[in-house]
Amino acid sequence: MAQLFEKDAVAKPQEWANLIANIESDATPFTSMIAKRKRPNQMLHYWQCKKYATTGHKGVLDGKDATEFHSNQGQELTGVAQKTWRNPGVSDFMEEVEVAGIKGSNMADQIADALVTVKRQIEKRCLSNEENARDDGVDQANETRGLLKWSDNSFTSYGVPSDFQTPTLSKSSVSALGSFTEAIFKTMGQTAYKERKGPAKSDGFVGVELKQAFTDFTTYQPVTGASQVCARTFNQQASSRELIDTVDRLVLDTGTYTLHLTSFLHTNASTGEDSAFTHKSGIFVDLDMCGLAYTRLPRVKRLDYQGGGHKAIVDAIFMLMVDNPLTMMPLLHNS
């Protein structure tokens, strides 16, 4: 028989590298940054929003008795808690075999993945344009209102009182990202300043394409009577060999705006897939006016072993609270 070559050999055991590469980031900036509130005791939760009355400032006559009296009544906002879950399971045999790249049991690995998935589900819901909903016992579950919907002025249930809805001028006036300009953002900031009666300290959660549009503010200068001209200046320390082209914070007359990239904005509620808005949109909020309230913190509930395999429930019950939507600044672009 002729010489045996490796390519012709049979019964070779497969060789797998002892790693599994997952390219997706598990960053969830919004729900990581906002305050965690006291546990709600019911699925429906209520709180009040209020703003100071606008009054005149004329003087009071000497000796005049008080005959008129006033009050400043708050208005009610409503939140709904929702459950989200991801339920891992592996067969009986699968739990006993070794898989390259997995340290420990396959079930433990699946639970770890499920915890990240639930974390992302919460982030997606909180950054969604979805409405509050109540369980009807048939096909509609309890659902919490997403941040983008809180900035809306059209509600199907538990609406925001008109005096506390985000003003139209605080919203991007264009649907195409290519038409979004520095002037539009400054107008939005001015409107929010007027509502707040002071400068903002606001955090923006933005898609990657919108983030680039903010970075372009440093590259192109608007010109009166024209469109834009290039205004780039480039300073570099020769030894660094770096081109730094990013904007993470804007300091304007109306306040300071910090930008945070997110991949989970305005996603499809049924599938979790990106929408046309996901990477082109964003929203600026005062984080002191937002909170995440857990009725049940993310947990792992292992189910009884019955011979066929190992199963668990990874779930959480949560609610997004927005104390006052007046100073929010949404930017919804889908083209």
Q: Which pLDDT does position 17 carry in this prediction?
A: 63
111 and 313 Cβ atoms separated by less than 8 Å: no
216 and 200 Cβ atoms separated by less than 8 Å: no
Q: Which pLDDT does position 219 carry in this prediction?
A: 72
102 and 109 Cβ atoms separated by less than 8 Å: yes
Total length of the chain: 335
Alpha-carbon Rg for the chain, nearest whole angstrom, is 27
- Comparing C-alpha atoms, which of 225, 294, 286 is closest to residue 81? 294
What is the residue whose two structure tokens read 């797998």?
16
Instruction: List b or e across 55-82, with b for residues whose CB sees 16 or more CB atoms inside 10 angstroms.
Output: eeeeeeeeeeeeeeeeeeeeeebebbbb
Looking at the DSSP assignment, which residues form a beta bridge with residue 300?
314
Rounded average pLDDT per 10-residue block, the chain, 335 residues = 68 64 74 92 92 91 93 92 94 84 85 92 97 95 97 92 93 94 94 93 96 84 59 64 80 95 96 97 95 93 92 95 94 96
Q: Say how many C-beta atoms besides its own lie within 10 A of residue 278's C-beta.
A: 21
Distance, CA of 77 to chain centre = 20
Q: Which pLDDT does position 97 carry in this prediction?
A: 81
* DSSP labels, 300-326: EEEPPP-SSEEEEEEEEEEEEEES-GG
CA 128 vs CA 19, 196, 263: distances in Å? 34, 25, 12
Dihedral (CA of 148, 154, 158, 160) sign? positive
Q: Which pLDDT does position 5 carry in this prediction?
A: 61
What token pair was written down for 251?
Answer: 């300091």
Q: Is 42 exposed, middle or buried (0-12, 13-18, 19+ CB in 10 A)?
A: exposed
90 and 310 Cβ atoms separated by less than 8 Å: yes
Strands, E assignment, 197-262: 200-206, 220-222, 228-230, 249-252, 255-261
Please tell me the distance from the alpha carbon of residue 152 to that of residue 328, in angstroms, as a whole number. Answer: 10
Please tell me the distance from the alpha carbon of residue 335 to that of residue 332, in angstroms, as a whole number. Answer: 10
Q: Which pLDDT does position 152 carry in this prediction?
A: 93
Q: What is the DSSP letter of 186?
A: H
